[in-house]
A = this chain, B = another copy of it.
Amino acid sequence: MSKGKEAVVTPWEVKGNIDYGKLIEKFGVSKIDKKLLSRIAKVCGGEDKVHPFLRRGIFFAHRDLKWALDEYDKGNKFYLYTGCGPSGPVHLGHATIWQFTKWLQDVFDCELYFQFTDDEKFLFKDKSFDEIQKWVHENMLDVIAFGFDHKKTHFIVDTKHANIMYPQAIQVAKKLTTSTVKSAFGLKDSSNVGQMFYTAMQAVPAFLPSQLKGKNIPCLIPHAIDQDPHFRVTRDILPKLGYYKPASIQSRFLPGLGGIQKDGKLSSSTGAAIYMTDSAKDVKKKINKYAFSGGQATVEEHRRLGGNPDVDVSYQWLSFFEEDDSKLAAIYADYKSGKLLSGELKAILIEKVNGILAAHQKRRAKAESKISKFMLKV
Q: Nearest Cβ in chain B — how far from A165, in angstroms?
A: 7
What distance in Å separates the Cβ of A340 from its nearest Cβ neighbour in chain B?
Answer: 50
Interface residues of A in 151-193 (CB under 8 A from B): 158-163, 165-167, 169-171, 173-179, 181-182, 187-193
Contacts of A174 in B (CB 8 A): 122-123, 192, 194
State in angstroms the CA–CA spacing of A182 and B189 once bound together. 9
Q: Is A129 an interface residue (CB 8 A)?
A: yes
Contact A192 B163 (CB under 8 A): no
Picked from B158, B171, B193, the residue with its CB within 8 Å of the CB of A197 is: B193
| B167, A192: Cβ atoms closer than 8 Å | no
With a 10 A CB-CB cut-off, give which of A177, A178, A179 has the most chain B CB atoms: A178
List 16 A-B pairs, Cβ < 8 Å: A129-B171, A159-B167, A162-B165, A162-B167, A170-B194, A173-B193, A173-B194, A176-B193, A177-B193, A178-B188, A178-B189, A178-B190, A178-B192, A178-B193, A193-B199, A193-B200
Q: How far is the CB of A4 from chain B (nearest CB, A)?
A: 34
Report if A196 contacts B (CB, 8 A).
yes
6 closest pairs, A vs B, by CB?
A: A173-B194, A197-B197, A162-B166, A162-B162, A179-B189, A159-B167
The distance in angstroms between the C-alpha atoms of A188 and B182, with both chains bound, is: 12
Contact present for A190 and B177 (CB under 8 Å): yes
How many residues of chain A get a CB closer than 8 Å to chain B's CBs?
A: 37
A221 → chain B closest CB, angstroms: 21
Q: Which residues of B contact A123 (CB under 8 A)?
A: 170, 173-174
Contact of A312 with B by CB under 8 A: no
CB of A119 closer than 8 Å to a CB of B: yes
* A53 CB → nearest B CB, Å: 34
Give A167's nearest chain B residue, CB to CB. Answer: B159
Shortest distance between the CB of A130 and any CB in chain B (Å): 11
Q: Are the CB atoms of B192 and A175 closer together than 8 Å?
A: yes
- Assess the B189–A200 pair: CB atoms within 8 A: no
* Residue among B119, B162, B177, B187 making CB contact with A163, cutoff 8 Å: B162
Q: What B residues does A165 contact at CB under 8 A? A: 162, 166
Interface residues in A263-301 by Cβ distance below 8 A to B read none
A165, A181, A197 — most chain B CB neighbours (10 Å): A197
Across-interface contacts of A178 in B (CB, < 8 A)? 178, 187-193, 196
Distance in angstroms from A168 CB to nearest chain B CB is: 9
Q: Nearest B residue to A126 by beta-carbon distance?
A: B174
Minimum CB–CB distance from A169 to chain B (whole Å) comes to 8
Q: Known A170-B122, A174-B122, A174-B194; judge A160-B163 contact (CB<8 A).
A: yes
| Set B159, B171, B191, B199: member contacting A166, Cβ < 8 A | B159
